[in-house]
Amino acid sequence: MVQRAERVKTASADPVTGTSQRPARPRNKPFGNVTRGTTNPNRLRRVDRWLAGPQQWRLRRAAAPLVVDLGYGASPATAVELYGRIHAVCPGAHVTGIEIEPDRVRSAKPLEHPGLDFRRGGFEIPTPERPTMVRAFNVLRQYDEADVRLIWETVCARLAPDGIFIDGTCDEIGRRCTWVALDAGGPLSLSLSLRFGSFELPSDAADRLPKALIHHNVPGEKIHDFLQALDKHWLAGAPLAAFGHRQRWLAMCQKMYDDGWPLVRDPSRWRLGELTVEWRAVAPAK
């Protein structure tokens, strides 16, 4: 069951636009709401693989990069796994798990060690250092869409130079994942990462789109056009299925690129069932 979307409790609405305004919260009170908190080990392996792969240059540019698992949930497993994956490519990185619910932080404390700690907080990112990477997965989907822009701005304002914020969603065992990457200037890209054999059409990822896009998958919106184009080329590549899903996916990605969609052309990532497109190609209509 998907939890009902919530408004940020301390946010107020602009009387003209109806959009959320930066909340005036009491001192030391985290910005955000307690979420459902369900998670599973290895659920976020796909986005971690992306952060430790094509995005690792951000870590190498920082002397002592901080990586944040924001809203890790009832179990600290995803933060522990993030530490292992980031530490493998950047031994000097520090990982902090942040949760708004005090009991979740207390239960994670015994797992702390050099390079990994846990603290209470929310979207304000209460760390002394500015983070190089912030990963918030299956967090914003539990908020109202009207609050997304405010949350994005709040987190991005805390990023270090060359920092990145990941707002993503995935299914319960991490076979279908999507995420938006943002920097201090705003959204950069949308990534889809699907396990071969876990979908019939690429658009099966639609119910796992980030909050900023999930309600815009309707005719006339860019994200709808993008998913429909993926499906078209996936179906056209049916004869390649005899050679495996990977070859069919590679052909689909190449056709999308040839059609002018601004995909990051990286066959090594495509082979993993992953593709990244520039945000401008899928951004919601104003």
Q: What is the pLDDT of residues 224-274, one digit of tens each?
A: 999 999 999 999 999 999 999 999 999 999 999 999 999 999 999 999 999
The reply to whether 218 falls in a domain is no
Residue 17 has pLDDT above 50, yes or no: no
The reply to whether 190 falls in a domain is yes
Q: In CATH, what number is assigned to the domain containing residue 135?
A: 3.40.50.150
The reply to whether 25 falls in a domain is yes
- Report the pLDDT value the prediction gives residue 27, as an integer from 0 to 100: 57
Structural domain total, the chain: 1
The candidate with the shortest Cα–Cα distance to 131, out of 98, 175, 179, is 98
Residue 259 and residue 97: Cα distance in Å, rounded? 41
The reply to whether 83 falls in a domain is yes
Beta bridge partners of 279: none
Residue 174 has pLDDT above 50, yes or no: yes
The reply to whether 257 falls in a domain is no
Residue 38 has pLDDT above 90, yes or no: no
Residue 270 and residue 259: Cα distance in Å, rounded? 16
Average of per-residue pLDDT across 164-184: 97
Its domain, for residue 163, covers: 12-212+264-281
Residue 107 has pLDDT above 80, yes or no: yes
Residue 14 identity: D
Residue 126 and residue 30: Cα distance in Å, rounded? 8
Instruction: Enumerate the H helices of the chain as residue ranges.
Output: 45-52, 56-60, 77-89, 102-108, 148-156, 211-214, 222-236, 245-258, 267-270
Residue 1 has pLDDT above 70, yes or no: no
- Report the pLDDT value the prediction gives residue 6, as an integer from 0 to 100: 53
The candidate with the shortest Cα–Cα distance to 77, out of 97, 62, 55, is 97
Confidence of residue 7 (pLDDT cuts 50, 70, 90): low
The reply to whether 192 falls in a domain is yes
Tokens of 37: 């908190």
- Report the pLDDT value the prediction gives residue 34, as an integer from 0 to 100: 85
Name the percent of the chain lying above pLDDT 90.
Answer: 84
Q: For 59-175, list the strands marked E by DSSP.
A: 66-70, 94-99, 116-120, 133-137, 164-170
The reply to whether 1 falls in a domain is no
Residue 160 has pLDDT above 80, yes or no: yes
For 3-12, 145-154, 272-281, which range has the lowest pLDDT when averaged over its residues?
3-12
Residue 12 has pLDDT above 60, yes or no: no
Residue 35 has pLDDT above 80, yes or no: no
- Report the pLDDT value the prediction gives residue 14, as an integer from 0 to 100: 43
Average of per-residue pLDDT across 180-207: 97
Residue 209 and residue 190: Cα distance in Å, rounded? 9
Torsion of CA 135, 141, 144, 149, to 10 degrees: 30
Average of per-residue pLDDT across 98-106: 96
Indicate the SS3 state at residue 29. coil
Burial of 30 (0-12, 13-18, 19+ CB in 10 A): buried
- Report the pLDDT value the prediction gives residue 16, as an integer from 0 to 100: 38
Provide the 8-state DSSP code for 113. B
Under a CB-based contact definition with an 8 Å cutoff, are residues 216 and 264 in contact? no
The reply to whether 67 falls in a domain is yes
- Report the pLDDT value the prediction gives residue 9, as an integer from 0 to 100: 58
Residue 21 has pLDDT above 60, yes or no: no
Residue 26 has pLDDT above 60, yes or no: no
